[in-house]
Chain A
Amino acid sequence: MDKLAVLDEINRLLEVDDETTVNTSMRLPSALRDAAVLAVQHLGVASSTTVMTAGALRQALETAVMTAALEAHYRQHPETRPSLVEVALALAAQDGSPLAQRPDLLERAAAQVLARRPDADADDVLLWAEAQEAASV
């Protein structure tokens, strides 16, 4: 099975509207299970540890598929990969931040952040730009 076929199959399985459950042989660290039981009983984070575990697993799988699908697309069309600044601008727009109107500031912030942290992400750029804006007032 190639990687794209794997992604398609995971997506298909994630869309199956099926309440059937299975007992798995998945082994959880007992301390983690006990922490989950306490969180369910006393913090109201989910109706059961099963719901909590399934929800976390779904979130992780969906995110992994989305990330892998984007990467697969960039491998086929490298010119379509958005830059760090473009992602930062998109997030600023989604956040309703005034930084969405300041591509110049985000360009500078990205360059400065990347010079110190080559693995910086879009939120690092936004935070740095926001700090620079605040300092300049």
Chain B
Amino acid sequence: MRAVVLDNEAVHALRTPRHAKHRTVLAHLEGVAHRRRKGASVIAVVPTAVRVEAGWDRTEPASAVINRFRVGDRSLDTSAADVAATIHARTSKGVADSHVGATVRGLPDDDVVILSSDPGDMTLVSSPQAITAVQI
């Protein structure tokens, strides 16, 4: 099973049709949909702290389009917050990036892809779990 995780830049790109990377992120979602149509188990997720940083409020009318793409939330609940706090202390990365790392640890999937403007940071916060960090 594969999980494709969106970081702040990927969310920004997805929300804005004029964004330079909009098509790139759409191509990744097309890839998710394509593999699902072929029977593969693939999901797209966003850590909720990333949504906060990116200003993605699902209740706003402006979010209607991005809400339809079925990018599921991964909440910063008690256990995720504990893991994110440890990652934050270890890496000095921000709350959103640390939540990405905690999300990776919490996913049942052995194949995790992170779409990010900074793949190095994503590898760092996800360590020691191996991930595929894709530069967008």
Contact = CB atoms under 8 A, between A and B. Distances in A.
Given A80-B17, A91-B35, A122-B34, A65 B27 contact: no
Contacts of A123: 34, 38
Interface residues of A, number: 32
Between A77, A81, A82, A90, the greatest number of chain B beta carbons within 10 A of the residue's beta carbon is seen for A90
A82 B27 contact: yes
Contacts of B23: 80-82, 86
Interface in A31-83: 59, 62-63, 65-67, 69-70, 72-73, 77, 80-82
Contacts of A77: 17
A62 B4 contact: no
A96 B119 CA distance: 13
Contacts, number: 89
The DSSP consensus for interface residues of chain B is helix
A55 to B, nearest CB: 10
Interface stretch (B65-73, B88-96, B98-106): B65-73
Interface in B49-70: 64-65, 67-70
Given A62-B36, A63-B33, A80-B22, 16 more contacts: A11-B68, A14-B70, A63-B37, A66-B33, A69-B68, A82-B23, A86-B27, A87-B30, A87-B31, A89-B27, A90-B30, A90-B134, A94-B28, A94-B31, A121-B34, A123-B38
